């Protein structure tokens, strides 16, 4: 029996559906804030409310053998919290460690934690990707909270003997994706000219199906215990190339104006959009060779296949 937290979310929902379809013998407990949707056969939804230091997980953990923890206070481009780091810590650190502590007491064998590449940092030099075992270097409060959650889980699992697996995804895209990736899809669909034709960065992305596939592997593979993994599609692209490949998936042509990246960065700084400029112009690459070496895992979908599914999800 597997407990998936954040089961109504973008990643959690896809994970629950995939797990439920794998085998009739797999019982999936879907932890949700509210019971407001129908679930496939083999899924047992349980309302737990918010992820907080005081949340009672006893009902959701009953009979559970393993946990995949997707729930979190997500990264926000504009965070209006008065004390942003404390707000993230309450959910992502204290709420997570509270869940893991109750899971260990309930006899859970393995705890898979969906962390974030922001634990590694915000950017890489082209050709020098992040590695899974690099020393963490988070910058913002979200990344710091995820790193602290990882540290808290390691300490708890060392004391209790519960197996821990940490997965740090890069930006996840797929059918139903929101936020910045959705904006990219809409930009290309609209056909408006975009000043992004001379961006020579290199970024890693991960299709939702690829992330879900790795998480399931981390749930069952003996060699995953005690390890940290990064995850991507295994193919890095520039922002300019990504937009062209999104256009190809739509059967369109991307109209990209050849403005220098320095102009975009300067304009973004003037408008207070430095983080957006970093995502559009900066590089962030990850190395996933460890996944193949320890788990025999390669991404089932190529980048182009993942983009096609994301576009189909948007258009339908």
Q: Is 173 an active-site residue?
A: no
* pLDDT tens profile 51-80: 999 999 999 999 999 999 999 998 665 555
The model's pTM: 0.94
Q: Report residue 136: phi and psi, to 5°.
A: -60, 145
pLDDT for the residue 79: 58
pLDDT for the residue 236: 97
CATH tag, 2-174+205-234: 3.40.50.720
Helices 239-250/303-315 angle, 10° precision: 60
List the one residue out of 163, 165, 171 whose CA is nearest residue 216.
Answer: 165
Q: What is the C-alpha separation between 223 and 153, in angstroms, rounded?
A: 18
Domain positions in the chain are 2-174+205-234
pLDDT for the residue 183: 87
pLDDT for the residue 41: 85
Mean pLDDT for each 10-residue chunk of the chain (316 residues)?
A: 95 94 82 88 92 96 97 72 86 98 98 98 92 95 97 98 98 87 90 92 97 97 98 97 96 92 86 84 96 98 96 82
Which of these is catalytic: 142, 181, 187, 229? 142
**Total Cβ atoms within 10 A of residue 91:** 20
């Amino acid at each position: 029996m597997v407990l998936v937290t954040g089961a109504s979310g973008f990643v959690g929902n896809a994970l629950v559906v995939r797990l439920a379809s794998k085998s009739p013998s797999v019982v999936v407990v879907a932890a949700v804030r509210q019971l407001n949707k129908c679930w496939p056969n083999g899924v047992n939804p349980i309302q737990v409310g918010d992820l907080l230091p005081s949340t009672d997980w006893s009902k959701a953990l009953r009979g559970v053998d393993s946990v995949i923890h997707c729930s979190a206070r997500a990264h926000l481009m504009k965070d209006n919290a008065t004390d942003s780091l404390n707000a993230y810590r309450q959910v992502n650190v204290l709420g997570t460690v509270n869940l893991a502590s109750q899971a260990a007491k309930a006899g859970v064998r393995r705890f898979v934690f969906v962390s974030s590449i922001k634990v590694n940092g915000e950017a890489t030099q082209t050709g020098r990707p992040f590695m899974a075992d690099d020393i963490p270097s988070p910058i913002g409060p979200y990344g710091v909270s995820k790193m602290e959650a990882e540290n808290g889980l390691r300490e708890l699992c060392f004391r209790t003997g519960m197996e821990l697996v940490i997965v740090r995804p890069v930006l996840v895209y797929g059918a139903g994706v929101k936020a910045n990736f959705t904006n990219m899809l809409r930009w290309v669909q609209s056909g408006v000219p975009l000043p992004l034709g001379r961006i020579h960065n290199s970024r890693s992305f991960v299709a939702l199906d690829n992330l879900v596939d790795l998480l399931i592997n981390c749930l069952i593979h003996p060699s995953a215990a005690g390890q940290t993994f990064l995850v991507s599609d295994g193919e890095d692209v520039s922002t300019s190339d990504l937009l062209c490949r999104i256009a190809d998936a739509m059967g369109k042509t991307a109209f990209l104006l050849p403005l220098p990246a320095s102009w975009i960065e300067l304009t973004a700084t003037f408008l207070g959009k430095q983080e957006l400029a970093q995502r559009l112009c900066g590089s962030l690459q990850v190395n996933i060779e460890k996944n193949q070496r320890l788990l025999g895992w390669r991404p089932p979908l190529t980048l182009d296949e993942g983009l096609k599914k994301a576009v189909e999800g948007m258009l339908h």
